[in-house]
Amino acid sequence: MSALPLASPRPARSPAPRRHLEAAPTRAYRRARPRVLSAVVTIAGIGAILLAQLLLSIVLAEGAYTIAGLQTEQRDLLRQEQALTEQLEVLSSTQNLTANAEHLGMVASGNPVFLDLSTGAVSGDPTPAGGSLTGSSGNQIGNALLAGSTLVDPAADDRTAGSPENSAAGGGSGAQASSTPGTIPSPTTR
């Protein structure tokens, strides 16, 4: 080693390579600028989340009230439907229909007559319609639900049929009244 010429120049230490050994910037230094940004982002994020959560719960609560309201409405409507069905069933009972039919002057049909389409033969012994289904003593088969119910008033029916909106719609009695005698009254198909 000592035989090495002293004169051989050592490579000069230039300042440039020294820079490579410069102490790395501290973490704090490196993050000095991004830190502000991330803080803002974080706080904004938290804020947004909180806001979203607030809005969400407001919407949910509102939804809960809407649901509760609609459920109540549904229940009320179902009850109403049931009450109306109940009324309808009573009105369509045989006793009510018979009483009203007879009140309106309808009579029992006569013996049916049959036309055999394949042979063209007519069978049966026709009798004219007439007489009452309930007979002289009136309906004998009770129905407590009909107590206090009133019969249809044909005069009132005529009055409503005569009003402009009803006659335009072709109400049953109005249409029949206007048909000429001898023709079969036919309903207006809508």
Binding site for another protein (CB under 8 A): 57, 60-61, 63-65, 67-68, 79-80, 82-83, 85-86, 89-90, 92-95, 98, 109, 111-112, 114, 123-125, 133-135, 137, 139-146
Q: Between residues 141 and 155, which has the closer beta carbon with respect to another protein?
A: 141
Token pair 């009254």 is found at 185
The CB-of-148 to another protein minimum distance in angstroms stands at: 12
Residue 101 · residue 154 · CB < 8 Å: no
For the stretch 20-56, what's the b/e string if a residue is b when 16 or more beta carbons lie within 10 angstroms of its beta carbon?
Answer: eeeeeeeeeeeeeeeeeeeeeeeeeeeeeeeeeeeee
Could you tell me the smallest distance in angstroms from the CB atom of residue 27 to another protein?
34
Alpha carbon distance 61, 157 (integer Å): 52
- Residue count of the chain, please give it: 190
Cβ nearer to another protein, comparing 93 with 166: 93
> Which CB, 74 or 179, lies closer to another protein?
74
Which is closer to another protein, CB of 145 or CB of 175?
A: 145
